[in-house]
């Protein structure tokens, strides 16, 4: 382990991160100075801490190994999220406890979108902007994590995408390649954000809302600057724009890169995962629409379709915006939506969940078992499109799902021990681990009522889900730290 080099990078990251508190500080000053105190204090503390860590280690340039990569990705989220909680804790309005601040910051940076805040509309704009920006920064990290780092580490079958990492392949060393890839991805990421913000503004949002919502849309976060989320605007155009960009951000960013480079949409249609994602969304929208119409929940087919489309895409892509309270939907619908969040978005996107690719492989593997029972001598390959998937990947995916479920059960027990009722425990955990946001039961509106212990467990679950379980759990194994 190269602690010195890791410390150097972390210190640099902290200093960079402190700069991100400049825009909210400017907004605070522009708006008359409220909350400017908390941001300037947070900025100085973060900057100083970073400097203190970085300065003594500034000359320790060492090539990072794969193991260092795990430590770095985990500490990126834990350390940045902890420092990111500072402005919330320091601010006077809203007045937040330490646990609430941490929860809010973790939720933001992991692009979950679960909130403990109420009365959001009346909060200072600086705080509102800061929340949106946290998600956007988290999304930036995730894109690189999901497209460049995870495939390289091969976490949970992600080595399948190793060959599809955009950018030049001239260098086999970890860091230069990641750096090149990151640049390309961030250009796409920023481009999408700008487009999304423009579209929102044209559709009638104020510039502040447009930029804020574009941040949380492209990051698949789900924070909003209003209590009623996207429902506040009550505009079909805005909802359609949100749906469009949520679907786009739920796709593999490697595909966006391919499509951009070849200037054709063929890459999307040829990608089996992308098509499966769209099909899953379509089917869920259809089922939801039919059930809502059967129960006559909205008395209006057009409104039903509108709500079904938006809410399904929002939950299934693990964004978590809302236009209506889906926890009040009839029959099995609230659970159907939560389960689609388990499937989540495509691998290599900013979305959460177990990822469409893994679910497809699990499903194909199930089919393969049935075929094997029918034809004991048969040789069957799991295929994605025309490509044969190596058995190693299937094993990794199985391992991933087993660990995912096991962790889920353990954390669920822990939540029940915090005296949450089963529905709340299940739905909040599902929501946080899949980086979704909204939940059912006591947390159907916000997470403020939950006990502090539950909030900490859920914060941990968010990072766990974000880091694809393995890359975090690996740090808890003794073998990792052994020589």
Partner 1 sequence: MKIIILGAGQVGGNLAEQLANEANDITVVDTDAEHLRELGERLDIRTVTGHASFPAILRQAGADDADMLVAVTNSDEINMIACQVAHTLFRTPTKIARVRATQYLTRADLFAPDALPIDVLISPEQVVTHHIKRLIEHPGTLQVMDFADGKAQLVCVRAHYGGLLVGQQLRQLREHLPNADIRVAAIFRRDRPIIPTGDTVIEVDDEVFFIAARHRIREMMSELRSVEVGYQRVVIAGGGQVGERLAEAIESHCQVKIIEMNPARCRHLSGTLDSTLVLHGSASDRELLIEENIDQADLFIAVTNDDDANIMSSLLAKRLGVRKVMALINNPAYLDLMQGGAIDIAISPQLATLSVLLTHVRRGDVVSVHSLRRGAAEAIEAIAHGDKQSSKVVGRTINDIRLPPGATIGAIIRDEEVLLVDDELVIASGDHVVLFVVDKKHIPAVERLFQVGLTFF
Q: Which two tokens stand for residue 471?
A: 């890359």
261: left (phi over 0), alpha (psi -120 to 50) or beta: alpha
The answer to whether residue 163 forms part of the interface with partner 1 (CB under 8 A) is: no
* CA–CA–CA angle 401, 406, 409 (5° rounding): 130
User: Max alpha carbon distance in the chain (Å)?
Assistant: 76
Residues contacting partner 1: total by CB under 8 A: 9
The answer to whether residue 383 forms part of the interface with partner 1 (CB under 8 A) is: yes
Q: Which stretch binds partner 1 (CB under 8 A): 26-34, 119-127, 380-388, 473-481?
A: 380-388
Q: Looking at 122, 163, 172, 377, which residue binds partner 1 (CB under 8 A)?
A: 377
Residue 97 or residue 388: which is nearer to partner 1 going by CB?
388
Q: Which stretch binds partner 1 (CB under 8 A): 62-70, 235-243, 287-295, 379-387?
A: 379-387
The answer to whether residue 379 forms part of the interface with partner 1 (CB under 8 A) is: yes
- Minimum distance from residue 388 beta carbon to partner 1 (Å): 4
Please answer whether residues 213 and 200 qualify as being in contact, where contact means their C-beta atoms are separated by less than 8 angstroms. Answer: yes
Q: Which of 325, 144, 294, 305 is nearest to 227 (CA)?
A: 325
Residue 365 or residue 453: which is nearer to partner 1 going by CB?
365
The answer to whether residue 479 forms part of the interface with partner 1 (CB under 8 A) is: no
Residue 328 or residue 378: which is nearer to partner 1 going by CB?
378
Q: Looking at 95, 299, 373, 376, which residue binds partner 1 (CB under 8 A)?
A: 376
What is the rounded CA–CA span in Å between residue 107 and residue 438? 11
Residue 330 or residue 385: which is nearer to partner 1 going by CB?
385
Side-chain-facing half-sphere of 372: CA atoms under 13 Å:
10
Q: What are the backbone dihedrals phi and psi of residue 61, each rounded to the nearest 5 degrees, phi first?
A: -90, 115
What is the rounded CA–CA span in Å between residue 285 and residue 319? 16
- Minimum distance from residue 387 beta carbon to partner 1 (Å): 8
The answer to whether residue 378 forms part of the interface with partner 1 (CB under 8 A) is: yes
* CA–CA–CA angle 447, 451, 457 (5° rounding): 80
- Minimum distance from residue 280 beta carbon to partner 1 (Å): 23
The answer to whether residue 370 forms part of the interface with partner 1 (CB under 8 A) is: no
What is the rounded CA–CA span in Å between residue 193 and residue 133? 12
- Say if residue 94 is preceded by a cis peptide, omega within 30 of 0: yes
Residue 275 or residue 305: which is nearer to partner 1 going by CB?
275
- Minimum distance from residue 145 beta carbon to partner 1 (Å): 30
Please answer whether residues 464 and 353 qualify as being in contact, where contact means their C-beta atoms are separated by less than 8 angstroms. Answer: no
- Minimum distance from residue 157 beta carbon to partner 1 (Å): 18
What is the rounded CA–CA span in Å between residue 272 and residue 280? 12
Q: Which of 314, 332, 342, 337 is nearest to 247 (CA)?
A: 314
Q: Which stretch binds partner 1 (CB under 8 A): 288-296, 375-383, 417-425, 469-477?
A: 375-383
With H, G, I as helix, E, B as strand and everything else as coil, classify residue 389.
coil
Q: Which stretch binds partner 1 (CB under 8 A): 45-53, 239-247, 372-380, 443-451?
A: 372-380
| Residues from 386 through 415 that contact partner 1 (CB under 8 A) | 388
* Residues contributing to the site for partner 1 (CB under 8 A): 375-381, 383, 388
């Amino acid at each position: 382990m190269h602690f010195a080099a890791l410390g150097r990078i972390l210190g640099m990251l902290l200093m960079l991160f402190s700069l991100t508190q400049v825009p909210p500080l400017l907004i605070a000053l522009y708006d008359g100075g409220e909350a400017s105190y908390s941001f300037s204090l947070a900025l100085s503390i973060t900057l100083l801490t970073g400097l203190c860590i970085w300065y003594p280690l500034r000359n320790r340039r060492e090539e990072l190994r794969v193991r260092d990569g795990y430590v770095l990705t985990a500490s990126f989220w834990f350390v940045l999220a902890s420092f990111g909680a500072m402005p919330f804790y320091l601010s006077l309005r809203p007045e937040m406890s330490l646990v609430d601040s941490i929860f809010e910051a973790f939720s933001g940076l992991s692009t979950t979108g679960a909130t403990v805040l109420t009365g959001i509309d009346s909060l200072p704009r600086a705080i509102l902007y800061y929340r949106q920006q946290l998600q956007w920064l988290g999304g930036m990290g995730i894109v690189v994590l999901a497209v460049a780092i995870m495939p390289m580490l091969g976490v949970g079958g992600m080595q399948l995408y190793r060959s599809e990492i955009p950018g030049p392949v001239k260098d086999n060393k970890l860091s230069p390649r990641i750096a090149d890839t990151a640049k390309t991805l961030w250009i796409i990421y920023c481009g999408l954000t700008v487009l999304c913000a423009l579209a929102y503004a044209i559709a009638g949002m104020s510039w502040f809302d447009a930029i804020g919502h574009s941040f949380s849309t492209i990051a698949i976060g789900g924070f909003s600057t209003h209590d009623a989320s996207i429902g506040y605007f009550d505009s079909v155009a805005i909802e359609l724009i949100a749906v469009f960009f949520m679907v786009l951000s739920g796709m593999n960013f490697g595909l966006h890169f391919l499509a951009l480079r070849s200037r054709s949409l063929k890459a999307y249609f040829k990608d089996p995962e992308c098509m499966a994602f769209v099909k899953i969304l379509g089917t869920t929208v259809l089922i939801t629409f039919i059930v809502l119409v059967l129960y006559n929940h909205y008395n209006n087919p057009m409104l039903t379709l509108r709500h079904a489309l938006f809410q399904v895409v929002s939950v299934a892509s693990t964004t978590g915006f809302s236009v209506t309270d889906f926890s009040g939907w009839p029959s099995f619908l609230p659970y159907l939506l939560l389960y689609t969040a388990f499937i989540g978005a495509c691998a290599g996107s900013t979305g959460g969940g177990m990822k469409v690719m893994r679910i497809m492989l699990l499903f194909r593997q199930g089919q393969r078992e049935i075929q094997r029972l029918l034809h004991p001598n048969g040789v069957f390959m799991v295929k994605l499109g025309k490509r044969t998937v190596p058995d190693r990947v299937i094993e990794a995916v199985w391992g991933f799902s087993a660990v995912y479920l096991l962790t889920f059960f353990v954390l669920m027990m822990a939540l029940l021990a915090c005296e949450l009722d089963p529905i709340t425990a299940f739905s909040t955990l599902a929501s946080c681990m899949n980086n979704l946001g909204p939940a059912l039961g006591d947390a159907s509106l916000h997470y403020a009522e939950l006990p502090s212990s539950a909030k900490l467990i859920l914060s941990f679950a968010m990072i766990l889900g974000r880091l694809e379980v393995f890359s975090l759990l690996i740090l808890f194994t003794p073998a990792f730290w052994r020589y």
